[in-house]
Amino acid sequence: MKAFVVERFSKDGLRAVEVPEPDPGDGDVLIQVHAAGVNPLDSKIRDGEFKFILPHRPPFTLGHDVAGVVTRVGPAVRGFKPGDEVYARPRDSRIGTFAEYIAVHQDDVAPKPASLSMPEAAALPLVALTAWQALVERANLRAGQKVLIHAGSGGVGTMAIQLARHLGATVATTTSTANMDWVKSLGADLVIDYKHEDFARVLTGYDVVLDPLGGRSLAKSLTVLKPGGLAIGISGPPDPAFARQIGAPPLLRMAMTALSRRVRRQAKRLGVRYSFLFMRADGTQLRELTKLVEAGDLHPVLDRVFPFDQTLDAIAYVDQGRAKGKVVVTLDQVPH
């Protein structure tokens, strides 16, 4: 089968090659890929940015979102059968959705929302799970609280705005001038044009900040939180809690502690908290998100759809950082 494989960690290390079709393990479902979402994480992994904390070693197939049809199941699989339409974000040790087939553990898979097309479904798993794990699981966001979501027109931002609105929170977001009305239509109550306004001068007393940008944006975000508020970073820096979560060896734990020391100290001085989130695969949470999709409370936002043969072009487009919502690739040989 054809797959896009990272042959070495570099910007030009991803190539289309022929690889064997995967053989599902006892607890796996084999999925014929109809569509795969493209994420900034794909580029970061291709470039080797996470090579010390994730299990990928070249050569490996890239890709983190899938929607497709089950073709085979392992003997221990319960609840899925050939012909089922499903979607998933495979766990970190099992990524590889830029391929014609992928074997995914049953615990990472959920039935595809019936109301969505394959490309729409492929746009959801990684970003929707990120929003859920940040706002519901980590922050316990509740009605009446205030949340700032940076980069509201991005993949995570578009999902987080909708989810925060569903939870009853007051939502502020940052975006460019051209996208202000659009993110308001997603549910944002207050939109900051980052090209002309400094959010740190406008906002105060927030309960939660979700920051996919890192760096200066994260440092400034701490200042808009009320005492005890929580800033969740998904671009880093990783913190000691994350090091414990992944069972990092001592040297790596020390490195993560050092990388996040400045932001943790700043948070402590301000009386607020910082937490790093690296989302994980979770089929049960995907089923909860499916309920929101079917109820009309959450919908995927597609910027562009590329044919599978143009996966490299799709990644290059995402790397430009201007996509509104998600970019998806579809396979030509299957109906959508």
- pLDDT tens sequence across 41-68: 999 999 999 888 888 999 999 999 999 9
Considering the segment(s) 2-124+300-330 as one domain, its CATH architecture is Alpha-Beta Complex (3.90)
> Is CATH 3.40.50.720 the right assignment for the domain spanning 126-276?
yes
Q: How far is CA 75 from CA 30, 81, 109, 112, 145, in A?
A: 12, 11, 16, 22, 46
For range 78-106, the mean pLDDT? 97
Give CA 142 to chain center in angstroms. 22
Percent of the chain with pLDDT over 90: 91
Pairing state of beta strands 146-149 and 170-175? parallel
For range 185-189, the mean pLDDT? 97
Query: Distance between CA 112 and CA 100 in Å, rounded?
Result: 18
Q: What is the pLDDT of residue 182?
A: 95
Residue 332 pLDDT class (50, 70, 90 cuts): low
Query: Distance between CA 68 and CA 111 in Å, rounded?
Result: 10
For range 121-127, the mean pLDDT? 98
Q: What is the pLDDT of residue 55?
A: 82
Q: What is the pLDDT of residue 52?
A: 83
Q: What is the pLDDT of residue 53?
A: 82
Q: What is the pLDDT of residue 333?
A: 54
Mean pLDDT of the chain: 96
- Enumerate the H helices of the chain as residue ranges: 40-46, 118-122, 125-132, 155-167, 180-186, 199-202, 215-221, 240-245, 250-259, 261-270, 283-294, 311-319
Domain boundaries, the chain: 2-124+300-330, 126-276
